[in-house]
Structure 1
Amino acid sequence: MPADARYRLLASTIMPRPIAWVVTASADGIVNAAPYSFFNLFGADRPVVALGILARADRPKDTAANIRATGEFVVNLVPHALTEAMNATCVDAPPEVDETALAGLATVPSLAVRPPRIAASPVGFECRLTHLLETGPGQLLAVGEVLHAHYDRRVLAGDPERPRVDVAALDLVGRMHGASAYTRTRDLFDLHRPLWHGGQDGGAAHHKE
């Protein structure tokens, strides 16, 4: 199967996918921003995220080059209100172009890493690279430890010591099939996890709330 057909098949199967709006900086301090949907959380104690980055045909992506050079990146999450700005940073711009400026996005300094955060994003994770794996020709998996997590107070609820996310207020988007399909996290339903109570029947009548 040709590589492009294989990509379309797989990307249209593993979905919806969360989007990491990744900000990096080159060794010279030039800021880059781009969204990646090969992304997820892979641990909470310590917090770890991972990005899958595919190369262009002609040169490495700026995100990959910057992470390799500096070992730092910031993951911003994408609410529906920022989808147009996110899409603007998808442009295949030269390395010297700052996509945050191109998209009219304000940034704020990070606490522990050089790349800034996107000010309007409700959640930002400052990350330090722990592993960079070549998973195939032109394929990289960047694993990062979350050093600082920033949450807009408007998307949090409950006890400040044990906050929960107001999912409706967060209003994140995810990546779907094809070149341009996205989804919102609005169509929800609940399934309560069963608790094992033993016995030969394998019954699991009680549910964990």
Structure 2
Amino acid sequence: MSASNNTADREAKLQRNPHGDFNAVEKSRPEFEEDVEFHYTRTKDIEWVPGSGATSDDWKKHKKIAVDPYAEGRDPLNNYKLLIAGIVPRPIGFVSTESKAGIRNLAPFSYTTFVHHDPPIFCIGFASSVAAAKDTLANIMETGELTINIISEWFVEAANYTATNAPPEISEWDVSGLTPLASEKVKPPHVGESAFSVEAKLVTHHEWISKVTGKANGTLVIVEGVNFHIREDATNESFTTLDPKILKPISRLGGITYGRTTQAFEMLRPSWADEEKREEVKKILEK
């Protein structure tokens, strides 16, 4: 069976659209709130002291249910649905690649994060083996080059459209209307609309073996960031931060749900040299 047929079968089983007539459901919802700007709030309890635990006891009203991912009769796709709903919010790696033949590809991947800073290391997960690789993974394995771009509110519709299962000869850049900007150290362009982009090169990869079928069904690629591109109004003079008011990042939640980043709070990391002197901490240690 071809990779495209495998993908089609998997998508049919997933039934991503939970609404039936999605367009009707979306039109029934309130309009996008343009006037909601990123802002800071306090934490829920600014008087919290060591040993206090959670700020609510509601969790005590509900027991936790153990779910064996390998339980007899449990479809691995059920684990997929559960994990994308539970491990949230997830950053979306908007990945640009180019084949040796010069065909450009652009697609979003929510199995993406950075895992080290020196050197800058990122990982991306693909739900396919190398043999069954679709365009993005195939291009990375073939050329070893890519860019990772952060998705923001002002182009989320175009970014989502690149997730369509277009054939390899179709460039998602063209059908989405997004702007390719030339990279400096890799061949694939980065996304002009993105406020933060990373040029990257392949370091290594690892295939995952299904415990149900015994066959390779997933691939992890580890890449090194070799160049950054930052929108000038989103950063500081030393290029050490990004302003969330400008970045307006979009995250992936469960199912087909996305999240906006509209508010935050700040918390200092406790210094044990200071904390061990507090009376609350001394009482805890004396027990």
TM-score normalised by L of structure 1: 0.90
Does residue 155 of the first structure (1) align with residue 231 of the second (2)? no
Deviation string 1:47-99 (CA, Å, 9 cap, x unpaired) is 1111011129x942211100010111100110011100101101001111110
RMSD, aligned CA: 2.0
SS at match of 2:270: strand
**Structure 2 spans left out of the alignment, 5+ residues:** 1-73, 210-215, 283-287
1:131 Cα offset (Å): 1.0
**2:217 maps to amino acid:** G
Which structure: greater strand fraction? Answer: 1
Cα distance in 2 for partners of 1:164, 1:28 equals: 37
Q: Are residues 48 and 82 of structure 1, via their aligned partners in 2, closer, same or farther at CA, if it must alter by over 3 Å?
A: same
Cα distance in 2 for partners of 1:141, 1:38 equals: 9
**1:140 maps to amino acid:** T
SS at match of 1:7: helix
In structure 2, what is the equivalent of residue 38 of structure 1? 111
**Equivalent of residue 128 in structure 1, options 201, 209, 213:** 201
1:192 Cα offset (Å): 1.6
Query: Do the aligned residues in 2 keep the contact of 1:196 with 1:202 (CA within 8 Å)?
Result: no
**2:235 maps to amino acid:** L
1:138 Cα offset (Å): 2.1
TM-score normalised by L of structure 2: 0.66
Aligned residues: 200
Which structure: greater helix fraction? Answer: 2
In structure 2, what is the equivalent of residue 84 of structure 1? 157
1:199 Cα offset (Å): 6.4
Deviation string 1:135-171 (CA, Å, 9 cap, x unpaired) is 23221111110000110011113xx135421111100
Q: Is 128-137 or 24-33 further displaced after alignment?
A: 128-137
**Structure 1 spans left out of the alignment, 5+ residues:** 205-209
Cα distance in 1 for partners of 2:194, 2:235 equals: 14
1:102 Cα offset (Å): 1.0
1:189 Cα offset (Å): 1.7
**Equivalent of residue 172 in structure 1, options 232, 245, 249:** 249
Q: Which protein is bigger by CA-based radius of gyration?
A: 2
